Structure 1
Amino acid sequence: MLEWEQYLIAYQASKNEIYGRYIDDIFMTTNESIDEMKNILDRANDKDVNIKINYQIGKSIDFLDITIHNEDGRLRTCLYHKPSAEPYILPYSSDHPRHISRNIPYAALLRAARICSDVNDFHAECIRIDMSLLLNEYPPSFSRKQFYHFFHCNNAMNVLTALNENGYRHLHQKSLYQPTRREKQLTVVLKDAVLSPAVLKAKIWDKTIMYPRYQFDASNCKTLSVQFYKWWNIYYKNEKASVRTVKIRLVANTNETVESYLVHKKPPKERLTRMENDGHNR
């Protein structure tokens, strides 16, 4: 695919146009006529018998999870939702730690702010997110709190209260160019090869931090951590205790899902091969 697309990349560069590809999905812009673009794409389609493309030309197309509109030479982007997609997210009543429920609306709003280039499209997506939360039994007070948290953290309260266009433009640009966690990790690796060597090695055990795990239960999740830290401060954080300088980070183990009980993945290839060899030996 990399060799096959070089012709299209060079052609788009010569016309100062956009070319982008993700796996086997390609997006291109052009000011050529439709007949001219069809000839170019047909020639590309005949280059390799193993690669066949189906193309769509228009002022509005769907690319991955984005709908792109051409409005008099200006590209407007918004989220694309499949017609058959249902507004299903993790139900609020699900037995998961509350930080997971809090992350769902925040991540959805961040995704919408990155993709939607127009404030009205973003507003429509906010309504869709709010409706999805309600349909999955999230309390309205919880949703309002998480919406407020998102706009407050991103210094965009004028977008929440008045749909301020300039405020949203700043939010969109900030969210669009904000590096992901993976990108931040790669930056650290490239910046300091000594602290983050390319060759994997065993992680040094930090004896100053302890991560006790417990089985999450929604019925006592609020009181358990408070009681645990209280006991820790009484019995282990005194002057005589050897672990008084150790920091504690409680970690919740989520409960098994129905999928984990009903779905079993295929065993590793090594195990299957070993079973076949054992059968032949018998």
Structure 2
Amino acid sequence: MAKTNLKTATAKQRIFRKAINLLNQIFFTWNNGNEEELVSFLQTIRDKSPNVQFQKLIASSVPFLNAFVQNQNSNLFSRIYRHPFIQGYSLPYEVGNTKLVHSDWLRSVLIRAVCYCSSVEDFNLERIYLELTCLTNGYSLRFVETHVQHFFNFFHLHPMRYSRDQIMYNKFRHNWFNYIKIQHELSDQLQQFDDKGQLIHLNYLYEYGAR
């Protein structure tokens, strides 16, 4: 609801949105007026949807959930943010096929890293952090190498793993953003098939990847 109202009320605004589907939260940066105009804009949304809650914070930088967002000379800069009181180098706790879960987790956090980190330097630091997280929790170097290489080879950009070229990294990010958009569109199509009873679900147990 909030996302719909924001989109309607800001047809002529330049807004950067980040949707968190599970939490139903969004954030946006405002660059089309002063604080009074921002307050008026938010009031328009509140009038249409009284249940929408706001937390307004005006600053040159701000953490939002797992993202750190900063205004650098009128350019939007972002990277991964970790709360200082949360224990680092830890994997999600799972009961059952932990190897499968952590394989999916590593892929998802690598995708999150490339989407959140606008700088190639920050992305490389985050990648190294994720690799060390797996290694310190008992996974082998082969396990890490297999999954990280697959991540970079997905768009045939293996040299990106050790590159500090910002232009190459921007292209790599663009590929992932397009991929995520396509995945969302496919997910919507599959849901439509499922709603019509035209989708067949196949469930099976399997192991894959190196330990």
TM-score where L is the length of structure 1: 0.55
1:183 paired with 2:180, answer: no
* Structure 1 residue 167, shift from structure 2 partner: 2.0
Deviation at 1:201, TM superposition (A): 6.0
In 1, the alpha carbon distance for the partners of 2:16 and 2:107 equals 31
- Residue 31 of structure 1 and its aligned partner are, at CA, apart by 4.5
Structure 2: any 5+ residue segments left out of the alignment?
Answer: none
Residue of structure 1 equivalent to 2:205: 251
Structure 1 residue 26: Cα displacement? 3.7
Higher RCO structure (Cα 8 Å, ≥6 apart): 2
Compared CA separation, residues 251 and 167, structure 1 to 2 (3 A)? same
RMSD of the TM alignment (CA)?
3.9
Asked if 1 retains the 8 angstrom alpha-carbon contact of 2:90 and 2:133, the reply is yes
Matched, 1:40 2:43: no
Structure 2 residue matching 1:170: 3-state secondary structure: helix
Distance 1:148 1:203, change over 3 A: closer
Who is 1:17 aligned against? Answer: 14
Displacement after TM superposition at 1:164 (Å): 2.5
1:29 counterpart = 2:66: no
Alpha-carbon spacing, 1:26–1:160, altered in 2? closer, same or farther (3 Å): closer
From the superposition, tell whether residues 4 and 115 of structure 1 become closer, same or farther in structure 2 (CA, over 3 Å).
closer
CA pair 199-54 structure 1, distance change in 2 beyond 3 A: same
Contact 1:68–1:78 (8 Å) recurs in 2: yes
Distance 1:139 1:89 in 2: 14
Where in structure 2 are the equivalents of 1:81-160 lying within 5 Å?
A: 81-86=82-87, 87-90=89-92, 96=97, 98-160=99-161
Q: CA–CA distance in 2 between the matches of 1:144 and 1:105?
A: 11
Matches of 1:131 and 1:125 in 2, distance apart? 10
Q: Distance in 2 between matches of 1:145 and 1:4?
A: 40
Which residue identity lines up with residue 251 of structure 1 in the other structure?
A: L
Q: CA deviation at 1:72?
A: 1.3
Unaligned runs of 5+ in 1: 191-195, 212-249, 254-282
Q: Aligned equivalents of 1:136 and 1:76: distance in 2?
A: 31
Paired residue total: 200
